[in-house]
Each structure stands twice: as structure tokens, then as C-alpha cells.
Structure 1
Amino acid sequence: MLTSQRHALILDRLRRDGQIVATALAGELGLSEDTIRRDLRELAGAGKLQRVHGGALPVAPPLPDLGARTQIAKATKQALALRAVERIAAGQFVFLDGGSTNETLARALPRDLRITIATHSPTIAAALAGHDAEVILIGGRLYKHSMVATGSAALAAIETMRFDLFFLGATALHPTHGATTGDFEEAAIKRAIARQSAETFILAAGDKLGAASPHRILPLADLTGLVVSADIEDTTLSLYREAGLEILQA
């Protein structure tokens, strides 16, 4: 089998099954594991899949910058945001991660809801300017792609606080490999916030499920639950339920 044929077959299986197990595929095709692993490395180098231990996963599509993301799937984000608001109670200390979906959540909060919100996103802080909520804006080095503060200053501030609820932003979520994102430093900040939080939820559109990005944030065991669209199939959600996650459907 030619290299191009193997590559096409691997990508087809990845679309069909959602993962590649190198040992199983090598046995099925009568090839060495080294050959399959080399193919996976080449496809990963071309950005067509995400290498993981023992095989490969679909790669989360690269995210445009925050300004462009605010224009994508507005109705879905609004539905997720309204469902997430139901989880928030007066008097809580909530951390809102950056991202267009969490910005939609900030705008969906009742204006008279008396809570304290911490965020390292200046765009989310600005969205809350007309609300009664107390807003704590955490500073640091600005990661412009996501418009959030990162670095040691942000980390030091986060570690002085304890949050009732954290709405985590992730670019991908997989039953085995957990929540992932595209930037190493941003992943570290997200982990730090989760460590300081009693509960951690992710608002996840369907295209984030079953994929992976390069940098791991948290395993599923460290999450409380997901807020997802009502049209996501139960067969997809069952793996997350089996991991003990609470599933809120919008």
C-alpha cells in the first residue's frame, strides 16, 4: 500500500471512528507499528490529526481570533449561556474564563444579580460594566489571541482566591484526554483557576467534543459538568456521563 493510500485510509478511519489505535490498525493492515506511527507523525506534522499516546485523535480546528469568534454560532452560544445562567446563584463567587461563549454568558446574566465575578478577560469585564455584579479584573501579560491575562502576575492573583463556580473555556474535550487548548501558558492559567474552584463547568458546542488540542488543561475527573446543545446525541454524551460529569442540555 502506498504512503498516500495509507494516509487517506487513516484519515477516513479517524473521521469514522473518532480515534486511531496504532497497534490495532497495524495488525489489521498487516504492517509494522513503526510504519503506522511514522504515518501518524507525518499527518500530525501536516496538521491533519493530533498525536496521542498509542495513536491519534481528530485535531480541533484552529480558532480565529476573539473578534472573529464572536460572529460564529451566535444562537448556539446564546442557548448555552442561558442554560449556564440557571446554575448561578446570588452571592456566589464566579470565575469567567475568556472566550466568545463566556462573553455571551456574561451578557446573559441578569443585570440585578448580586454576585462577584472574577475574570482575566478585559472584554468580559467590559461586558459586565452595566451589571450590579462586583467585578474583579485580574491582570498580567495579555494573550491577545484570546484577550486574557496570563503569566506570573495573573497566577499570583488567582491563587489568593477561592471560587464557587468556574466556567472554563476549552478548544476541545475528549473522554480520554480531557479538556485541551492551543496555548501552553493559557492552559496553565486555566488549571490554576480550576484548582481554586469548587465546581468547574465547560460550555461546549458539538464540534469541540471528541477532539484534542496540543495542551492539556484537565482530565474529565477534575470537571463537574458540561453545558451542551440539546441536539447532541446521547451516544456522544454517554462517555462523559460515564466519567461522572453532570450534563446540562440547552
Structure 2
Amino acid sequence: MAISPDGTWFATVGEYGRVRIWDRASGESTATFAHSVVSVAISPDGTWFATVGEYGRVRIWDRASGERTATLARYTRFVLATAISPDGTWIATVGEIWTVRIWDRASGKCTANLTGHTGPVRAVAISPDGAWLATGGDDGTVRIWDRASARRTATLAGHTGPVRAVAISPDGGWLAIASEDGSVWIWSITGHRTVAGSQADGALVSCAWGTGNELALGGVRGVYLFSLLT
């Protein structure tokens, strides 16, 4: 699920990979897009969104018209997640090919391939200032990448299962990592060290920061809410 910047609408991925647009006030579905979608991300200005999924397609959609405005070069395998930069000029995608790809929004071309993971990559998040990004996958690690140089600056390890979700705090200081082994770890970006952790009853598949130090986690046994004490 992705929520628009102004909070008036959101997008979900449901049965058969259909993307639905929902009005926040009425709770009604206002549009249906695409098929075989796995993940969706909304642009910072809310005027367009990106979908990825089966057949390796990365598609750009116009929010107002509902028309597809671009299809980026296809992967040879599934694309599993995507994230849009804070200024909306570039997109990061990850998937089964073990490589993180950076795309230029205007030209639709791939500008960088980030390699290092040793398995499918399932999660990606971009820092609030767009200077770096974090990716996690089946190898149980999270890689930190510098956007400008396209180089890996850190590898965060410690999970015994695949990493399913990563989330960067609004101030860019902390990184939350959720894993299928049921663990969640909070890392300090400046020191690349863990500052907190917890264990859920079952696999964790999603995480998101709220206001302040609040962290929401989704898992097979339910939703967990944490407050990081500093």
C-alpha cells in the first residue's frame, strides 16, 4: 500500500495484482489500474505513481487520467519493490535478479546497476534527502548505497532469515529492518550500529515510520506498534 502525500487517497495491490485507488474520505475505490503488480509507489507531488511486478515491467501512471505514460526497460524476472526519490527525478527498483537498478524518470533509462546482494532483493527505501538508499533481501543483509557514486557504503547483517522490509526514519537518522525470522532491528545511520531490537511472534513483512519515534510493523500474526525511546 502507498499513501498520497496529501493523505486524500491511497493505492493498494490486491487480488490478481490489480492496483486500486481509494478515496480516503469516502472509503470508495475510484479507479483500477494494471494487472500482475507486486508493488506500488506514489510520487512526492502525488501526480503519478510507479508499479512493478510480474514479467519485469516497471510502469509509470498518470494519477488524473489513469493512463500509462511510460514503461521502463523490462527485467528478465520479477520486480519485487520500488521507491521514488524525494524530488521525483529517479526511481529505484529491486527484484529477483539480485541487482538494484536506478532509473531516470525523464528519460526512462537505467543510470546505475548496484550489485552485491547474493539473492533476490525484496525491499528498498530512499533517504529523505535522496543522498543514499537501503536495500534488503533473501541473503539476510541490508546494503547502504551512496546515490551519487553508486557505491556500497555499508553492509548490515545479523538476521537469520530474509529481509522483507526496510524503512528510513523521517529525519534520516535511523533505519528499521524487518525480517522473516520475526526480528526487527533499528540501526543508527551515522554509526552503522544497532540501537534497538525486538522479536515478533512470526515473520515480519512490512514496516513504516510514523510521527516522532513511532514504528509500525506488519507480520503474519498481526500489526505491532513500537515507540523508540531515546
Q: Same fold by TM-score, threshold 0.5 exceeded?
A: no
Between 1 and 2, higher relative CO (CA 8 Å, sep ≥ 6) is seen in 1
Q: What's the TM-score once normalised by structure 2's chain length?
A: 0.29
Q: Which has the higher strand share?
A: 2
Q: Which has the higher helix share?
A: 1
